[in-house]
Structure 1
Amino acid sequence: MTNEVRLVVYGEPASKANSRKIVKFGNRPASIKSDKARAFEASVKQQVHQLPRLMTEKLVAFIRIYYASERPDLDESIILDALQGLIYRNDRQVREKHVYHDIDRNNPRFEIVLRPLVKGLV
């Protein structure tokens, strides 16, 4: 099993909490991901190759998100969703997160390191 996965993925992640839109399925309204959120997830799938064997253990994630401006809220949830099925089976495996907000106006991206969670450190 892979001890650690390091990725750099280009593009600015949409805030999952602020990127929903209301649509109608017949007479029933529903909330779905915005076009920007769906485009970001598609971009991740193009840039990240699926591991031959997905990580199955509990994980710790170190994520640095480089936004194009100060405007977006720090929100890693769409990143973790997009990596599901590519790197690990389910984003619920991520039990510890270290998430940082940075700015790169010309090159928005995220950098992530995923490692197995080691119990008993704290």
Structure 2
Amino acid sequence: MSNKIYKSTKFVIHGEPASKSNSRKIVKFGKRFGVIKSEKARNYVKIFAEQCPQLEKLIELDVKVEIKIYYQSRRPDLDESVILDCMQGKIYVNDRQVKQKHIFWGIDREQPRTHIRVTPMEICNMPSDF
């Protein structure tokens, strides 16, 4: 185990995230088909990269992630996959480090956004009632 000292990181990303299930589309390249990110997903990855803090030292421990996503409407599914992917290389090394996550859904028609808190975990314990 690392003897680095980590602290929680909190930040807000303005804009509505693309869901991973709807973030890819199939396109034809000549006679072959391929999969590319949708325009909405590409735009969200770009704004996330601009707004997400770059930690001086990436978290190397397992982490707990708390995310509150405020959508513009009731339509989108609650999906944090793209958000977790976007934090790789900025907050933590790899999204496989996420061992606990709490995702909350809300509506804000005027200001869609995502509140994120990432907390390093010294030990990841499974709740005893499982």
TM-score > 0.5 by shorter chain: yes
TM-score normalised by L of structure 2: 0.87
Q: Which runs of 5+ in 2 are unaligned?
A: none
The 2-side partners of 1:74 and 1:101 are apart by: 6
- Counterpart AA for 1:40: Y
TM-score normalised by L of structure 1: 0.93
Q: Which runs of 5+ in 1 are unaligned?
A: none
The 2-side partners of 1:24 and 1:88 are apart by: 35
Q: Count matched residues.
A: 122
- Counterpart AA for 2:101: K
* CA-CA distance at 1:89 after TM superposition: 1.1
Alignment partner for residue 52 of structure 2, among 44, 48, 52? 48
Bigger radius of gyration among the two: 2
1:7 is matched with 11
The 2-side partners of 1:51 and 1:113 are apart by: 13
Is the contact between residue 9 and residue 47 of structure 1 (CA under 8 Å) also seen in structure 2?
yes
2:102 is matched with 98
**Alpha-carbon displacement from aligned partner over 1:1-46 (angstroms, at most 9, x marks no partner):** 3311101110000111122111234432112211100100000111
RMSD (CA atoms): 1.4
Shift of the 26–2 alpha-carbon distance from structure 1 to 2, 3 Å rule, reads farther
